[in-house]
């Protein structure tokens, strides 16, 4: 796909591609609602966020909309998209904002037809009549199955008049997930910008941390001060939202994997772990940096930091086409285990070699998560983690039990994944005290390229010495 396409042409190409995929699978009609609005408290909603699949195929982010793609014919020309959207309504638009409306939608979005969403229930039986199959996202929209059932009942009631009713229901997420897994140039351009904005936000937070600790602040430097810097930087560059709730974790809080930014005081001599990224034009970024709040690592912090950084480098080195999704995890885990044995986090006399620790799973005391996930419109993006079409094989699961699993997905150019090894040391018997309460994670977003991978988030330094230099500046 050419990066010079207008956005509406990009979405039209995606609708054509999914239409062809449905035709190849026997044809049918696809139904896709966007996300509902969600109340936060009385008269106040959560900020509205479209459904990712819906936006992927329309570029339309108003609530109260549905996309219907008819793909029953044999050729690309017979594929037809219809949008149902909120009708123009002066009274509502005064309160909630301008609506595109069905009259303007075809020209604006490059869609074949558009109607008011108020006519959806009335028109849907006609759209479903004489179709082979219905495709809609399974288990993602509350009550959708029941709604589709109701429409199919209406079609069935006309069977005696010669109408045919769809014979089968299919999960629309399946073909869409495969498409979304490999990013097109339009998506890659946005992901690069999102990564760069988020990297700038991490730089700002690091610099603010050391500057505020140097100059002093009444009441102390708190996690929420740094969260505010992140949000300021996201928004001032046009990012609409954080892609997920920011983690700003002082000292021991970093050992809580899903910690949120709270009000704990950050002190010089402590580490701060920030896991935060913006969402720009519907696309996420996901960065973690761990830095000394005052700008200088202690020897014990530095020892563990360098191990995590080496683990990330080992993972990056095997992030390239032909490798499997699990290979960066395996590479990082080996380096982390070597570090655990060298530093005495795991006693060699008790735990043996790297292979012994891999086998026993003892490393999970300090490293209990995977090294990455797909990333795209959703921070944990869609896409199978196993290779489609492959046969299940025996493999050990996280608890060491033998299970049958398909082999891990083979990486291809255009896939985007995070690389995020870490070490988390909770106080425990046998663990050297100097490491207690240290939590470190380093995370970057990698685009698989034909040659290897491009890190989209390296606008913020990662090497310990470079972080210290930045924080001195
Ligand atoms: N920030 C979410 C994650 O790293 O998976
Ligand atoms: Mn992540
Ligand atoms: Mn993250």
Cα 286 to Cα 201: distance, rounded to the nearest angstrom: 12
Which atom of ligand 1 approaches the CA of 418 most closely? Answer: 4
Cα 408 to Cα 400: distance, rounded to the nearest angstrom: 17
Which residue of 443, 444, 446, 457 sits with most ligand 1 atoms within 8 Å of its CB, as the best mutation to test the pocket? 443
Instruction: For ligand 1, say whether the CB of 286 is within 6 Å of any of its atoms.
Output: yes
Which residue of 368, 376, 380, 442 sits with most ligand 1 atoms within 8 Å of its CB, as the best mutation to test the pocket? 380
pLDDT of residue 2: 44
Ligand 3 centroid to 257 CA: how many Å? 10
pLDDT of residue 7: 83
Ligand 1 centroid to 356 CA: how many Å? 29
Which atom of ligand 1 approaches the CA of 276 most closely? Answer: 1
What is the tens place of the pLDDT at every residue in 72-119? 988 888 999 999 999 999 999 999 999 999 999 999 999 999 999 999
Q: Which ligand minimizes its atom distance to the CA of 244?
A: 1
For the chain, helix, strand, coil in percent to 5 are: 40, 20, 40
Ligand 3 centroid to 4 CA: how many Å? 31
Beta strands in 385-469, from DSSP E residues, in sequence order: 393-396, 402-405, 416-419, 422-424, 439-441, 444-448, 453-455
CB 131 within 8 A of CB 148: no
The token duo for 67 is: 């996309």
Ligand 1 centroid to 289 CA: how many Å? 12
pLDDT of residue 3: 44
Cα 311 to Cα 336: distance, rounded to the nearest angstrom: 6
What is the rounded average pLDDT for all residues in the chain?
96
Q: Which residue has the tokens 């080195």?
A: 317
CB 99 within 8 A of CB 68: no
Instruction: Specify the length of the chain in residues.
Output: 473
φ/ψ bin of 336: left (φ > 0), alpha (ψ from -120 to 50), beta (otherwise): alpha
- The residue whose CA has the least distance to atom 5 of ligand 1 is 380
pLDDT of residue 5: 66
Predicted structure pTM score: 0.96
Which SS3 state, helix, strand or coil, does residue 429 take? Answer: coil
Beta strands in 303-387, from DSSP E residues, in sequence order: none
The token duo for 21 is: 């995929």
Cα 339 to Cα 119: distance, rounded to the nearest angstrom: 63
Angle made by CA atoms 191, 295, 316, in degrees to the nearest 5: 40
Ligand 2 centroid to 99 CA: how many Å? 35
φ/ψ bin of 415: left (φ > 0), alpha (ψ from -120 to 50), beta (otherwise): beta
Instruction: For ligand 1, say whether the CB of 444 is within 6 Å of any of its atoms.
Output: no
pLDDT of residue 232: 98
Ligand 1 centroid to 347 CA: how many Å? 30
Which residue of 201, 202, 244, 245 sits with most ligand 1 atoms within 8 Å of its CB, as the best mutation to test the pocket? 244
pLDDT of residue 401: 83
Q: Cα Rg for the chain, rounded, in angstroms? A: 25
* Tens of pLDDT, residue by residue, the chain (473 residues): 444 567 899 999 999 999 999 999 999 999 999 999 999 999 999 999 999 999 999 999 999 999 999 999 888 889 999 999 999 999 999 999 999 999 999 999 999 999 999 999 999 999 999 999 999 999 999 999 999 999 999 999 998 889 999 999 999 999 999 999 999 999 999 999 999 999 999 999 999 999 999 999 999 999 999 999 999 999 999 999 999 999 999 999 999 999 999 999 999 999 999 999 999 999 999 999 999 999 999 999 999 999 999 999 999 999 999 999 999 999 999 999 999 999 999 999 999 999 999 999 999 999 999 999 999 999 999 999 999 999 999 988 777 788 999 999 999 999 999 999 999 999 999 999 999 999 999 999 999 999 999 999 999 999 999 999 999 98
Which atom of ligand 1 approaches the CA of 243 most closely? Answer: 1
- The residue whose CA has the least distance to atom 4 of ligand 1 is 286
- The residue whose CA has the least distance to atom 3 of ligand 1 is 286
Question: Residue 169 belongs to what H/E stretch?
Answer: strand 168-171
- The β-bridge partners of 222 are 265
What is the tens place of the pLDDT at every residue in 290-305? 999 999 999 999 999 9
Cα 413 to Cα 410: distance, rounded to the nearest angstrom: 10
pLDDT of residue 396: 80
Instruction: For ligand 1, say whether the CB of 379 is within 6 Å of any of its atoms.
Output: yes
Cα 339 to Cα 3: distance, rounded to the nearest angstrom: 44
Catalytic positions: 43, 258, 275, 286, 369, 373, 380, 420, 424, 441, 443
Residue 168: DSSP 8-state? E
Which residues lie below 8 Å from residue 426, measured CB to CB, with a gap of 6+? 255, 436, 437
Beta strands in 90-137, from DSSP E residues, in sequence order: 113-116, 133-136
Report the candidate in 114, 95, 89, 96 with the shortest Cα–Cα distance to residue 104.
114
């Amino acid at each position: 796909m050419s990066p010079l396409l207008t956005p509406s042409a990009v979405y039209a190409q995606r609708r054509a591609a999914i239409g062809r995929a449905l035709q190849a699978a026997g044809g049918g009609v696809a139904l896709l609602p966007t996300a509902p609005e969600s109340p936060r408290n009385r008269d106040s909603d959560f900020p509205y966020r479209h459904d990712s699949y819906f936006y992927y195929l329309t570029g339309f982010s108003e609530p109260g909309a549905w996309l219907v793609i008819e793909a029953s014919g044999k050729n690309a020309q017979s594929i037809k998209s219809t949008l149902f959207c909120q009708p123009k309504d002066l009274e509502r638009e005064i309160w909630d904002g301008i609506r595109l409306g069905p009259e303007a939608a075809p020209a604006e979005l490059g869609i074949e037809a558009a109607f008011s969403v108020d006519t959806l229930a009335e028109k849907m039986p006609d759209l479903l009549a004489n179709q082979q199959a219905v495709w809609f996202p399974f288990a993602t929209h509350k009550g959708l199955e029941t709604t589709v059932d109701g429409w199919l009942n209406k079609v069935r009631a006309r069977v005696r008049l010669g109408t045919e009713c769809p014979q089968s229901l299919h999960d629309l997420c399946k073909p869409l997930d495969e498409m979304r897994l490999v990013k097109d140039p339009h998506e890659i351009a946005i992901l690069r910008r999102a990564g760069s904005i988020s990297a700038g936000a991490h730089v700002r937070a690091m610099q603010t941390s050391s500057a505020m600790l140097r100059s002093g602040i009444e009441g102390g430097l708190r996690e929420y001060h740094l969260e505010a810097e992140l949000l300021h930087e996201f928004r001032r560059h046009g990012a609409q939202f954080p892609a997920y709730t920011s983690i700003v974790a002082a000292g021991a809080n970093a050992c809580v994997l899903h910690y949120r930014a709270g009000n704990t005081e950050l002190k010089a001599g402590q580490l701060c772990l920030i896991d935060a990224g913006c969402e720009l034009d519907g696309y996420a970024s996901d960065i973690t940096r761990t830095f000394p709040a005052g700008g200088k690592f202690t020897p014990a912090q530095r020892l563990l930091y360098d191990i995590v950084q080496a683990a990330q480098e080992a993972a990056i080195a095997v992030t390239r086409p032909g490798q499997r999704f699990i290979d960066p995890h395996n590479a990082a885990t080996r380096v982390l285990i070597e570090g655990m044995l060298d530093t005495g986090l795991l006693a060699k006399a008790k735990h043996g070699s790297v292979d012994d620790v891999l086998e026993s799973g003892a490393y999970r005391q300090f490293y209990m998560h995977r090294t990455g996930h797909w990333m795209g419109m959703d921070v944990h993006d869609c896409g199978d983690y196993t290779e489609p079409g492959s046969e299940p094989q025996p493999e050990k699961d996280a608890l060491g039990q033998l299970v049958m699993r398909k082999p891990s997905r083979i990486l291809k150019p255009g896939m985007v994944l995070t690389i995020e090894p870490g070490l988390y040391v909770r106080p425990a018997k046998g663990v050297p005290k100097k490491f207690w309460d240290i939590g470190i994670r380093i995370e970057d977003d990698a685009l698989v390229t034909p040659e290897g991978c491009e890190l989209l988030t390296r606008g913020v330094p990662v090497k310990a010495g470079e972080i210290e230099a930045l924080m001195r500046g």
